[in-house]
Amino acid sequence: MSEPVEPSPSSGASRTRRSVLVAGAAGLAAAPLWAATPAAPALGAYAADRDGGSGGSGERSGDAADGVPLTPDRVLRILEDGNRRWVAGRLRHPHQTVARREQVAGAQHPLATVFSCIDSRVPPEIVFDRGVGDLFVVRTAAQTNDGLVQGAVEYGVEESLTPLLVVMGHQRCGAVSFAVETLNAGRDAPAHLQDVLDALRPAYEAAKGLPGDQVDNTVRAQIRLTVRQLEHDALLEPYERTGRARVVGAYYSLDTGVVDFCV
């Protein structure tokens, strides 16, 4: 699989990577996001909440035990539980106290790395009802990827050993809407918006022949393409192969607050 798309449209390597993505895009549009790997203990462990559900002291959130290594599947369940609380309006606000700030000041052990859009309506810590030190968050327009972003994502898994990497797109994405409208009209974009346009072009090509809403189809294609890029990342693949890390795609509904991990 190709390496991540570089941001500069003038780079020969960038054009090569984009062409590889475009060539495989049609098949990826309908492909499953992840082939499940056997569960295996993740490296490291995650300390339990002691802040209490409402941000008090002396209580646990009930989603992790002290010193217990977390597998990708277990972390996924924790995020799913947090999202259910967000949807139901029953947030616990774990790890959002002064005590937590002091606890992680010297070291951090995040649960997951979340690669998502910059959209102000999709804050991962709130969407998954988490707090300080729980998530590495990388955000770009329509979770577009390049070398710097790839390095940040690799850092989360390689250096801090987060067992789960979530690529999260969302409903009615403004960056994708802009890209679809501009590409449909055959126009270029001003300044560095052209970099965003170029990065989204493979997803646009994958989705443009599909029935239904073109923007939504492009959002989902972008999730799939990004997941595939990260699955084949040279640094991440060994962790995935041994079950110590997992890459999953997710789609967030602005209307309901639901995160669908089965895009």
Residue numbers of the chain with a pLDDT score lower than 50 = 1-66
pLDDT for residue 69 = 74
Residue 78, H or E segment: helix 72-88
CA distance 95 to 242: 30
| Predicted pLDDT at 41 | 33
Q: What is the pTM of this model?
A: 0.77
Q: Give the pLDDT of residue 262.
A: 80
How many helices (H) and strands (E) in the chain?
9, 5
> 132 is written with which tokens?
């300080």
Residues 6 or more apart in contact with residue 120 via CB below 8 angstroms = none
Whole-number pLDDT of residue 177: 97
Number of alpha carbons in the 13 Å side-chain half-sphere of residue 199: 28
- The contacts of residue 160 (CB under 8 Å, 6+ apart) are 44, 108, 109, 110, 136
Q: State the average pLDDT for the chain.
A: 80
In whole angstroms, give the CA distance from residue 215 to residue 36.
Answer: 28
Domains of the chain, residue spans: 12-28+39-260
Does the domain at 12-28+39-260 match CATH 3.40.1050.10? Answer given as: yes
Give dist(CA 80, CA 103) in Å, integer.
25
C-alpha–C-alpha distance, residues 122 and 168, integer Å: 9
Cβ contacts of residue 29 below 8 Å, gap of 6+?
206, 207, 210, 217, 220, 221, 224
Q: Quote the pLDDT of residue 263.
A: 66
Strand 246-252 vs strand 259-260: parallel, antiparallel, or unpaired? antiparallel
